[in-house]
Amino acid sequence: MKSIIRFFAFAVLFSIGQKGYSQDPNFQVYLSFGQSNMEGNAKIEPQDTVGIDDRFQVLEAVDCPEIGRKMGNWYKAVPPLCRCTTGLTPTDYFGRTMTANLPKNIKIGIINVAVGGCKIELFDKDKSEDYTATAPDWMKGMIKQYNGNPYQRLVDMARIAQKKGVIKGILVHQGESNTGDTLWTKKLKIVYDNLIKDLNLDPKKVPLLSGETVNEDQNGKCASMNKIIATLPQTIPNSYVISSSGCKAASDNLHFTADGYRELGKRYARKMLSLLGYKFYNGKEFFRVHAPIGFDQLNSDVPAGKIESITYESKTVGTVRKATVYTPPGFDKKRKYPVLYLLHGIGGDEKEWLNGGSPQIVLDNLYAEGKMEPMIVVMPNGRAMKDDSASGNIMAPDKIQAFAVFEKDLLHDLIPFIEKKYPTFKDREHRAIAGLSMGGGQSLNFGLGNLDKFAWVGAFSAAPNTKMPEELLPNPQEAKKKLKLLWISCGDDDGLIGNSRRTHDYLFKNDVPHIYYIEPGVHDFKVWKNGLYMFSQFLFKTVDQSTFPEYTILGEAAQTNIRNSKYPQILPDNKVIFKIKAPEASKLQIDLGRKYDMARDESGLWTVTTDVINKGFNYYSLIIDGVAVADPASESFYGMGRMASGIEIPNKEGDFYDLKMVSHGNIVIKKYFSKVTNSWREMYVYTPPGYESGAEKFPVLYLLHGGGEDQRGWTAQGKANLILDNLIAQKKAVPMIVVMLDGNMPGGGGLKGFNENSLKTFESELLTAVIPFAESNFRTAAGTENRALAGLSMGGLQTLYTGIKNTEMFSYLGVFSSGWWADNPALSDPQYEFMKNNATKINSNIRQLWISMGGKEDIAFNNCKIMMGKFDQMGIKYKYSEYSGGHSWPVWRHDLFMFAPLLFQ
């Protein structure tokens, strides 16, 4: 009896003690155990003992007088991190990577208990004693350092750690000694379950990360065990396998080298960081971009808010209606609170969020972390009709209409009732609205339609009831002034993502600050709960709108991707994520403005995120082991003298080349035989809307590409047809035919081989082959006044040469990003001499000589500047335009947009 009393007394004291100390939630503790690869087999090198953040600490699990450490005390995590004479371990670079990629207020603690050569049975507290009895003597010596019971030592140290910090995860590396044991996952589950129980942990919040043995790609002797390890998540739902693929092995093919341990430790950390919701934010403050593991799990240790059902009289509907209300922990009727109105989907009601999303738990946990302002959350029934149940045909017209009617019910009945019944602020700055699916559409419609009522608006997977953007937000400037936060989120595999995308595109083009958040997922509560977690943290605080583009997990697939290719993806700030599977490659780079080295993961997936990329069209190449090739995930374009990948980056100023609901012209591809080159050649011809059905004759613009491109460039890369369609529809340009020919002449060799002979050949090709063919095959208006010639870069030189020498043929000349070379007087001086001698004729015949550049960053800028100086000296009349963007297609698209309205007027 006395022993029982003593036991209960101890239990009570222990329980009091557990609650009596103050844990630091920012001190994250990780338990690690296993065999030799976890204790560390590689020699500790000088680089492993320097540059360690003070925030990374180890709790010594054994006495180590030789290095001045005592069991149960915390020390800066200078290796060894297991026992006194062990080597480098994955936990070394796990901790380093964690501290390097977490906010500076977060500390990392490691407890490492490992025994070389042991089976998993050593850590089963019910089998440990029997296992130790039969262990070899060399192993018994290591076990003895843990007082004969490594499992208990791990638990004892973990309890000490819990006085300061919070256990966030468990790392294990074991399996070599159990190779082929199909029961290994169940045996590991026994150890994991015991740790969870003995340390009073929540298994949904404490993941298990298990590393593979030396991989078969390193000729691992126990690599077959990895097939068993791979099945671990089937036994332990909250477990994750850390691949060892590519991690260098030692000569025994059982252990890793120091480099191998470093990489493996980083992989453990990357997975844990992902589970914690953190984003790698290069060079800046780190923050969460998605909810951490366990965010929606009940925590009995944190204060809880209150859920209640209320009724209110709705004059709009003519009945008494229901709503669910959440009041925050510590709710005080003597203070005022802001209010979030949280709406459900088409098949739900005022209880849908409670039943599927547990918002009260999500919010309680956020309050406990200090990440959220106290607020009242009102969850109404958004189906404003007398029978507002989610029964029968939920798609019936009257029920769909009831979701629109709810706007009046919300504004005139529910909000006044809430603000009378509860102590609330009554201004727009303290009122938010958000919802999922149909409720997301309502939130956008009602919130943006009533900016005098709401300053915070959120939509999670908005449904098709969302108004078209121009109707949704007809005055973007007002929204910019009044909105504190506009949040739009959706799963990347949600079939309704188009509703979110079109709204984002409109906001982007009109410079309305907002968060466009894309995450992996479909149309379900996993996505919506994460949306609530992220959105609610912004509410009723000062927000930094400059960080908005960083808040997303995924980007949008580029419109230039091959169908169904998810990558490359464009992030809201126009950075690009590339992911390419190439397990056999040794080095991958992306050449896009500059060369970006890609990082390889354990599965052979290479990843990189670029800097901000220039708006509009950009060429890029995939470089595999030094060979530049087109990315198979992207459309290819003839540019740079070969087929290359291209990516279209969103451009706020690119409305003029968008595909719109206007009449469209046609692109006709024509083959013709050239006597100049004695070969079949090809031209692309744009005919304006209505050309096929009429008899009218049209003026012609002969439009030339640049070096390394061909006749396809102006339509594929330049979108010339769409530019003309839009200009003609707006009556800003006269309908015209545009002939886009191949300016590459035999023997010319592009710009490298550019000389007067190639220019003469081009002149002959244009005058004696192209123009006669065009005028005999298309309804072209006769006369010089109905011909224009323009080109970019190399095409600009061809325009200067042929157009200036033949002013009786052309009345309009356009020179884009070009100019006679200052360092090639043998070519340039005769051209200037001709112009000097014929200045009067040139000025008389040419109605418009239009010269444009892509700013100082354009590679032709200096040549053009020198050339225009000579034109000024000669008295040659011209107009100059400049559009920042360098020597690139975004500039040349804009050039055509500006030049075409000047023609044939």
DSSP string spanning 35-51? Answer: SHHHH--BPPPGGGGSS
131, 121 Cβ separation under 8 angstroms: yes
Structure token pair of residue 835: 């112009």
Told to judge if 252 belongs to the known catalytic residues of this protein, a careful annotator would answer yes
d(C-alpha 83, C-alpha 67), whole Å: 11
Strand partners, 608: 578
Residue 564: C-alpha distances to residues 558, 576, 725 (Å): 11, 17, 28
- Indicate the helix (H) or strand (E) that contains 580: strand 576-581
- Indicate the helix (H) or strand (E) that contains 137: helix 137-144
Structure token pair of residue 313: 């009289």
Selecting among 255, 290, 504, 894, the annotated active-site residue is 255
Q: What one-letter code names the amino acid at 410?
A: L
Residue with tokens 């000062």: 542
DSSP string spanning 280-342? Answer: --TTS--EESSPPTTTTS--TTS---EEEEEEEEETTTTEEEEEEEEE-TT--TTS-B-EEEE
Residue with tokens 């936990």: 91
Selecting among 36, 314, 461, 621, the annotated active-site residue is 36
622, 645 Cβ separation under 8 angstroms: yes
796, 868 Cβ separation under 8 angstroms: no
Cα 482 → chain centroid: 27
Count other Cβ atoms within 10 Å, centred on residue 598. 21
630, 644 Cβ separation under 8 angstroms: yes
- CB environment 587-597: b (16+ within 10 A), e (fewer): ebbbbbbeebe
Q: What one-letter code names the amino acid at 471?
A: E
Residue 850: C-alpha distances to residues 798, 806, 843, 867 (Å): 14, 16, 12, 13
Structure token pair of residue 191: 């150890």
Nearest to 61 by CA among 44, 42, 38: 38
Give the phi and the psi of residue 646 in degrees, each rounded to 5: -135, 150
Told to judge if 255 belongs to the known catalytic residues of this protein, a careful annotator would answer yes
- Indicate the helix (H) or strand (E) that contains 141: helix 137-144
Q: Three-class SS string for 810-878?
A: CCEEEEECCCCCCCCHHHHHHHHHHHHHCHHHHHHHCCEEEEEECCCCCCCHHHHHHHHHHHHHHCCCC
d(C-alpha 557, C-alpha 649), whole Å: 10
Selecting among 137, 252, 544, 823, the annotated active-site residue is 252
**Alpha-carbon torsion 804, 798, 900, 672, what sign?**
positive
Count other Cβ atoms within 10 Å, centred on residue 692. 9
d(C-alpha 614, C-alpha 655), whole Å: 16
459, 430 Cβ separation under 8 angstroms: no
Residue 547: C-alpha distances to residues 65, 500, 519 (Å): 49, 20, 17
**Alpha-carbon torsion 513, 518, 522, 527, what sign?**
negative
Told to judge if 430 belongs to the known catalytic residues of this protein, a careful annotator would answer no
d(C-alpha 644, C-alpha 637), whole Å: 5
d(C-alpha 319, C-alpha 305), whole Å: 29
Which residues are catalytic, by number? 36, 252, 255
